Amino acid sequence: MERFAKSFTRQEPIPEPAIEAAVRVMRSGALHRYGAEPSEVAALEREFAASVGAAHALAVASGGYAMTAALRALGVGPGDPVLTNAWTLAPVPGAIAAVGARPVLVEVDDSLRIDLGDLEVKLPQARVLLVSHMRGHLADMEALMALCDAAGVAVVEDCAHTMGAAWNGRPSGRWGAVGCFSCQTYKHVNAGEGGLVCTDDPDLAARMILLSGSYMLYARHGTAPAEAVFARHKGTVPNVSGRMDELRAAILRPQIGALPRQVERWNALYRALEDAFRDAPGLAVVERPQAEAFVGSSIQVLAHDPARVPAFLAACAAWGVEWKWFGGAEAHGFTSRHHHWGYVAPQRLPRSDAILARLLDMRVPLTFDAADCALIGRIVAAEAARHLGAPSRARDPA
Ligand SMILES: *Cc1c(COP(=O)(O)O)cnc(C)c1O
């Protein structure tokens, strides 16, 4: 068996039309969204809103900023409880902490989605749920919205891993009051940094535009609500600067258009890996619900026995195959779990902890091809047989 030599964090180049657009912006010198006529940022907002079918979109500095803008626009402030999944990435509890609010963590189930039973129990504790579609796993959104609507809880969706995904045909980010997206390099479009929000609510849209630092130039936004809506909020919303610049918007516009094709490519790689991992002893793939149109930009498996995971990870790493493990003692790279978030009050989440101890995660970059997935599959199957299979059946892959 040959060693896998590619990087799990390598991006594709920025597409040529995006590079040309970026060069045009730089030649103009007009890099600020309010200095450019016509504005790339305003065009991006129109195109993104149209792509998800939203009335309003706003381009901002990061996915984390998008979430804080949504929370602030909903009136979340110091000390307020905000519900969120126990399994997510640090910027999610970080966004709640950034507005001085208090994360209340909800269990996840072994489909890696928010546990609707635990959510129902905790709904009376908060006014807002920031649901994280972590690693692209969408909850049963009809059921989730029915529970939250009945409890009067507003829903903000963290769609950092679901740009291009949908539940029962409705795009992620279009179920709750606000959808928040990231355009950071390791997500589904690559501007280095950047974020997008979408909403149908004109008051939330106006508040988020004012928050982002619009200097009274809000009429120049791509999908701004009417002047009368701004009149209700002007002067009461602080300027918390987090605008997007023309250069990033220029790079992003062609990528938004190309996303459906990229999603197909991601899913072909995902299905190839999933098929290979399905045959690996000691590992269970996470089955995707029929209603979910997902983006396979990463893949997760559950190991039967967490105690045997470290040896399996080390063996895969020796072949060049990189897993992230959510059961590690220390936070590592992008991988952390709720125990590592010292700014979040400790909470008892026994079911999530048992799942995270078994949870392995692999990035699926578009710089991989079918042959790469086949080789990764062979390495994982062989090392799983050796380290995770029934001890009596252990054999040497070499
Ligand atoms: C990356 C990420 C974010 C935030 O995005 P940034 O643009 O890095 O601020 C939010 N949620 C999840 C789950 C993420 O992975």
Q: Sorting pLDDT into bands at 50, 70 and 90, what band is 394?
A: very low
- 259 CB-side CA count, 13 A: 22
- Nearest atom in ligand 1 to the alpha carbon of residue 182 is 7
Strand, helix or coil at 91? Answer: helix
Residue 363 pairs with which residues in a beta bridge? 298
Residues 218 and 364 in one domain: no
DSSP 69-97: HHHHHTT--TT-EEEEESSS-THHHHHHH
Ligand 1 midpoint to CA 280 (Å): 31
What is the average pLDDT across 4-14?
A: 96
Q: Provide the token pair at 390.
A: 């029934």
- Nearest atom in ligand 1 to the alpha carbon of residue 62 is 7
Q: Provide the token pair at 99.
A: 């507005």
Tell me the per-residue pLDDT of 21-78, one tens digit each, with 9 for 90 and over.
999 999 999 999 999 999 999 999 999 999 999 999 999 999 999 999 999 999 999 9
Ligand 1 midpoint to CA 375 (Å): 30
Q: Sorting pLDDT into bands at 50, 70 and 90, what band is 82?
A: very high
The reported pLDDT for the residue numbered 391 is: 59
* pLDDT over threshold 60, residue 392: no
Q: Provide the token pair at 80.
A: 């307020």
- Look at the chain and report how many structural domains it folds into: 2
Question: What single-letter DSSP state applies at residue 370?
Answer: H
Residues 183 and 301 in one domain: no
Question: Can you tell me the distance from the alpha carbon of 42 to that of 19, in angstroms, rounded to the nearest whole number?
Answer: 19
Ligand 1 midpoint to CA 181 (Å): 8
Residues 248 and 156 in one domain: yes
Q: Which residues line ligand 1 (CB under 6 A)?
A: 62-64, 88-89, 91-92, 132, 134, 158, 160-161, 182, 184, 195
- Nearest atom in ligand 1 to the alpha carbon of residue 186 is 1
- Nearest atom in ligand 1 to the alpha carbon of residue 183 is 7
Pick the last residue of a domain from 211, 227, 254.
254
Minimum CA distance residue for ligand 1 atom 6: 63
What is the average pLDDT across 179-198?
A: 98
Please classify residue 97 by burial: count the beta carbons closer than 10 Å to its beta carbon, then call 0-12 exposed, 13-18 middle and 19+ buried: middle
The reported pLDDT for the residue numbered 215 is: 86
Ligand 1 midpoint to CA 163 (Å): 12
Residues 233 and 367 in one domain: no
Residues 277 and 366 in one domain: yes
Question: What single-letter DSSP state applies at residue 186?
Answer: T
Residues 316 and 177 in one domain: no
Residues 63 and 179 in one domain: yes
Contact indicator for 299, 275 with CB cutoff of 8 Å: no
Question: Can you tell me the distance from the alpha carbon of 233 to that of 308, in angstroms, rounded to the nearest whole number?
Answer: 56
Q: Sorting pLDDT into bands at 50, 70 and 90, what band is 217?
A: very high
Best residue for ligand 1 mutational test, from 187, 244, 334, 336 (most atoms within 8 Å of Cβ): 187
Question: Can you tell me the distance from the alpha carbon of 347 to that of 359, in angstroms, rounded to the nearest whole number?
Answer: 20
Minimum CA distance residue for ligand 1 atom 7: 63
Tell me the per-residue pLDDT of 224-258, one tens digit each, with 9 for 90 and over.
999 999 999 999 999 999 999 999 999 999 999 99
Q: Sorting pLDDT into bands at 50, 70 and 90, what band is 337?
A: confident
Residues 203 and 279 in one domain: no
- Nearest atom in ligand 1 to the alpha carbon of residue 194 is 7
The proportion of the chain whose per-residue pLDDT surpasses 70, expressed as a percent, equals 97
Pick the last residue of a domain from 254, 273, 305.
254
* pLDDT over threshold 50, residue 383: yes
Pairing of strands 81-85, 102-106: parallel
Minimum CA distance residue for ligand 1 atom 2: 160
Best residue for ligand 1 mutational test, from 84, 87, 182 (most atoms within 8 Å of Cβ): 182
Q: Name the phi and psi angles at 151, rounded to 5.
A: -90, 0
* pLDDT over threshold 90, residue 352: yes
Strand, helix or coil at 159? Answer: coil
Pick the last residue of a domain from 254, 289, 315.
254
The reported pLDDT for the residue numbered 297 is: 98
- Nearest atom in ligand 1 to the alpha carbon of residue 187 is 1
Ligand 1 midpoint to CA 88 (Å): 9
What's the CATH number where 373 sits?
3.90.1150.10
List the domain range (segments joined by +) for residue 75: 16-254
Q: Is residue 392 part of a domain?
A: no
Residues 146 and 77 in one domain: yes
Q: Provide the token pair at 29.
A: 């010198």
* pLDDT over threshold 90, residue 397: no
Residues 115 and 215 in one domain: yes
Q: Name the phi and psi angles at 397, rounded to 5.
A: -75, -20
Strand, helix or coil at 50? Answer: helix
Ligand 1 midpoint to CA 325 (Å): 18
* pLDDT over threshold 90, residue 389: no
Supply the Cα-derived Rg of the chain in whole angstroms.
22
Residues 308 and 359 in one domain: yes
The reported pLDDT for the residue numbered 328 is: 82
Q: Is residue 100 part of a domain?
A: yes
What's the CATH number where 175 sits?
3.40.640.10
Containing H/E element for 131?
Answer: strand 128-132
Contact indicator for 50, 226 with CB cutoff of 8 Å: no
Q: Of residues 178 and 339, which shows the higher confidence score?
A: 178
Residue 182 pairs with which residues in a beta bridge? 195
- Sign, CA dihedral 385-386-390-392, equals positive
Cβ neighbours of residue 352 under 8 Å, at least 6 residues apart?
A: 86, 87, 105, 107, 108, 115, 338
What is the average pLDDT across 204-229?
A: 95
